Amino acid sequence: MDTLNLSDYLRFLVRRWRIIAALGLLGTAVGVFVTHTTTPQYQATSTLFVSLQDRDDTVKLNQGNTFAQARVRSYAEVVTSPRVTEPVVKFLRLDMTHSQLARKITTEVPLETVLLKITVTDTRPSRAARISDAIAHRFAEVIAEIERPEGARSSPVRLSITEHATRPKAPTSPNLVLNLALGLVAGLGLGTGLAVARESLDTSVRSRNDLTRCLADTGGPAVLGSVVLDQSASRHTVAADDDAFGRRAEDFRRLRTNLRFVDIDAPPKVIAVTSAVPAEGKTSISINLASSLAEFGSSVCLVDADLRRPSVASALGLVQDAGLTTVMIGQAEAGDVMQSAGAFSVLASGMLPPNPAEMLGSEQFRAVVRSLADRFDHVVIDTAPVLPVADTPAMASAVDGYLLAARYAKSSRGQVTDAVRALQDVGATVLGSVLNMVPAKRDGEQYGYGYRPKTSGRRERLRLLARLMLRPRLRRRGRTATIGVFPAPSAPTVKDTTPVAAQEGGDHH
């Protein structure tokens, strides 16, 4: 993964906010669960004062105070000893051992004091108070015994209970607020860590910047545009026909404009549209690129050269069985099997051959493409994916350049890089790349508002007016009009109905 700056981290944290929020809520829920399932614990505290018996002399009193401060810290360790806890267990008849009782006791010696605080934690508040007081009384007796000189009747050290334990009114644990805070922080931390890990492992292209950096690694072309995701694209193949002023239609117009500036001195005429792997939307881009070029006033022919899984004809509702392969084997002329898609012409794939790579790399294919280039202003060729098969690089000599499609969140950076290098290895020109199916909220280049004519309800009349204006323009330029020239989709006329596979001597499925 490339080196990321702060803005990159913030961007992918926002992109992964669902994971972070979900784990934050989960952590909070765990905090609530722990709070309600944990047995409440109560604490009761007794306070003892350590002093010396001899107070007649001021000097001795000061020395005794210093002595008591030094000794009281050692006394704290005696509180949990069996000598203190065993008698308390027997006296209060507790259902626990002296070791278990010792684990319930904590001591505290405030700094520079002779005070000793004994705290007992228990599940029952009244029992916590009784145990704390009992421990304090027994502890005072044990210290008196320890400090009494041999043969003396009393100990010079005296421990007095200055504050008896009281019955606690509220449990000290579980603490709902603390558990919720800890659960939320732990969940957010785990979510952030998981988001960082997923982003580090995710090699998919998720922005134009990702695609730009990926192409830069190969010294490849620029990103010429991005196409917003439209859930209705399968029902409305040509974006301009669905909504002439929609965002998706404008994306293809921007792509068309950027292609014109790729090489001003020698603008590409024969453009092959491909992708690294299947299902990245290359056919949709091919169709809409042809439509946007025709919308600009050019005569355009769309050729389906994907001889393994052709989809142009089915997407446009045309006939697929006669087309490119029919022309290549001499069964028909291009004009005989050409079909109309409204603003542009379509040469379907025809019958599928058993040797698509050899056919697309043949001189016959180059001759067909040259004849189309002589007849039309632009020829757009829909091809097979680059990485799975060798078909697309094989036709490199017949096209002016390739437009590489990458799908948002699906195409990996490695796949895009490998596809560009595969085309570069055969000397092909990669004109640029386009990021396809970008969610509307992810498309940073799109405005947050629709910019369309206020009379957009008259879209059909505007489209009809554009076609009426375009037709005489094409005729004055001496070209065959591409709108309405070819008959409506029907079974094309061919010289021979023998399948291509049969001509090659193989079976066709």
Under the banding of pLDDT at 50, 70 and 90, the label for residue 3 is: low
Contact present, 433 and 405 (Cβ < 8 Å) = yes
| E strands present in 322-366 | 339-340, 345-347
pLDDT score for 480: 36
Q: Is the per-residue pLDDT at 471 higher than 70? A: no
DSSP 448: S
Each residue's pLDDT tens digit, 341-400 = 999 999 999 999 999 999 999 999 999 999 999 999 999 999 999 999 999 999 999 999
Question: Looking at residue 146, what is its pLDDT?
Answer: 87
Written as one letter, the residue type at 77 is E
Listing DSSP states for 52-88 in one string gives ES--S-HHHHHHHHHHHHHHHHHHHHHTTSHHHHHHH
Please give the distance of CA 78 from its chain centroid, rounded to a whole number: 59
Buried b (16+ CB within 10 A) or exposed e, 38-47: eeebbbbbbb
Give the 3-state secondary structure of residue 509.
coil
Q: What's the pLDDT at 2? A: 53
For residue range 265-284, list pLDDT tens digits in order.
Answer: 889 999 999 999 999 999 99
Span 488-495, mean pLDDT?
45
Choice between 424 and 53, residue whose per-residue pLDDT is larger: 424
Helices (H), 304-390: 312-316, 324-328, 334-337, 356-360, 363-375
Whether 194 has a pLDDT exceeding 60, the answer reads yes
Place of tokens 């040469």: 347
pLDDT given for residue 273 in this prediction:
98
Tell which wins on pLDDT, 440 or 41. 41
Write down the pLDDT at residue 195: 85
Q: What is the mean pLDDT of residues 164-170?
A: 93
Contacts (Cβ under 8 Å, ≥6 apart) of 460: none
Which DSSP state fits 334? H
Taking alpha carbons only, the member of 253, 206, 205 closest to residue 225 is 253
The answer, yes or no, to whether residue 169 has pLDDT greater than 70, is yes
Q: Which residues of 271-303 are buried (b: 16+ CB within 10 A; e: fewer)?
A: bbbbbbbeebbbbbbbbbbbbbbbbeebbbbbb
* The pLDDT value given to residue 242: 86
Q: Coil, strand or helix: which one is 223?
A: strand
Q: For residue 12, what are the contacts with CB-CB under 8 A and spacing of at least 6?
A: 195, 196, 199
∠ CA 15-16-17 to the nearest 5 degrees? Answer: 95
Provide the pLDDT for residue 60.
54
Q: Is the pLDDT of residue 474 over 50?
A: no
Q: Please compute, for residue 150, the number of CA atoms within 13 A of its CA located in the half-sphere on the CB side.
A: 0
CB 140 within 8 A of CB 48: yes
Q: What percent of the chain has pLDDT over 90?
A: 62
**Euclidean distance between CA atoms 352 and 311, whole angstroms:** 12
pLDDT at position 107 is: 92
- 408, 435 Cβ separation under 8 angstroms: yes
pLDDT mean across residues, the chain:
85
Query: By the 8 A CB rule, do 307 and 384 touch?
Result: yes
How far does the chain reach from its first CA to its final CA, in angstroms?
44
- For the residues 112-122, what does the mean pLDDT come to? 90
Residue 329 DSSP label: T
**Stronger pLDDT, 246 or 480, i.e. the higher one:** 246
Question: For residue 58, what pLDDT is reported?
Answer: 47
Average of per-residue pLDDT across 440-454: 56
Q: What is the pLDDT of residue 69?
A: 73
Is residue 63's pLDDT more than 90? Answer: no
Supply the pLDDT for residue 64.
Answer: 57
Q: What is the pLDDT of residue 356?
A: 96
For residue 17, the tally of other CB atoms under 10 A from its CB is 13
Contact 168, 42 (CB under 8 A): yes
In the three-class reduction of DSSP (H, G, I as helix; E, B as strand; rest coil), residue 158 is classed as strand
For range 462-491, the mean pLDDT: 44
In the structure, what pLDDT confidence band is assigned to residue 482 with cuts at 50, 70 and 90?
very low
Helix 208-216 to helix 413-425 angle (10° resolution) is 40
> Could you give the count of Cα atoms lying within 13 Å of 357 in the half-sphere of its Cβ?
8
Burial of 505 (0-12, 13-18, 19+ CB in 10 A): exposed
